[in-house]
Amino acid sequence: MNPIVAVLAIVLAYFCGTLPSAILIAKSKGIDITTFGSGNPGASNISRALGAKYGALVFLLDAAKGAIPVVLTLGYRPIAFACAAAAIVGHMFPVMRHFKGGKGVATGGGVLLPLHPPVMIGTLIAWLLIMKVSKKASIASIAIVPIMLIALAVRGTAGWELLALLGMGVLVEIRHISNIKRLISGSEPPVTGVSH
């Protein structure tokens, strides 16, 4: 891929990641999602505010923000990984919102789907099972990062890909530090713990 085209693709992937799916959907229902529940503009908090149907919609939209840039560059795998990272960073740190974004779980799932489909499907199943048992989306989100990395390692994923995905996974975990603190203090709300 032409270097200029590659850089342009990465920049566009970042801005694709910044699209505020949760905020727009919540606003259409008269809610400022950044002041509701955990305050996180993501699928789990939307589920608390508007119900599972809207939470699933936000999850799909946030996943698409990661999947589309990767699919469009998949023929150039290193560039696809760079676009994957850019989309996740864009979701977490959107320049238009003073770098205050989401946790990156759905967008991370979106980038993983075209890169490693079986691992993504397995990870999604693991997330749903852990969330169902724990009633806490944050526990599921924190747990699936090591599960994903172990699955990739077992499948013999190339070392550079594993390191790249490790870096993205570490970002997701760092974004969950506030959740970890609330889990320790016992103040972390369950997904179904707030109604609207």
Task: Tell me the pLDDT tens digit for each residue of 96-140.
Answer: 989 989 999 999 999 999 999 999 999 999 999 999 999 888 999
Residue 113, domain member (yes or no): yes
Domain count along the chain: 1
What are the structure tokens assigned to 2, written together?
């032409």
What are the structure tokens assigned to 94, written together?
């959107």
Residue in 58, 41, 38 with CA at minimum distance from that of residue 177: 38
Confidence of residue 195 (pLDDT cuts 50, 70, 90): very low
Confidence of residue 151 (pLDDT cuts 50, 70, 90): very high
* pTM of structure: 0.91
Residue 60, domain member (yes or no): yes
Residue 34, domain member (yes or no): yes
Residue 78, domain member (yes or no): yes
CA 89/CA 102 separation, integer angstroms: 10
Residue 191, domain member (yes or no): no
pLDDT above 90 for 37 = no
Range of the structural domain that residue 52 is part of = 3-185
pLDDT at 166: 97
Burial label for 21, CB within 10 Å (0-12, 13-18, 19+), is buried
pLDDT at 41: 87
CA 109/CA 106 separation, integer angstroms: 5
Residue 26, domain member (yes or no): yes
Portion of the chain with pLDDT greater than 90, in percent = 79
Mean pLDDT computed over 15-39? 91
Residue 49, domain member (yes or no): yes
Residue 70, domain member (yes or no): yes
pLDDT at 159: 96
- Mean pLDDT estimate for the chain: 92
Portion of the chain with pLDDT greater than 70, in percent = 97
Residue whose structure tokens are 């499907």: 121
CB 47 within 8 A of CB 55: yes
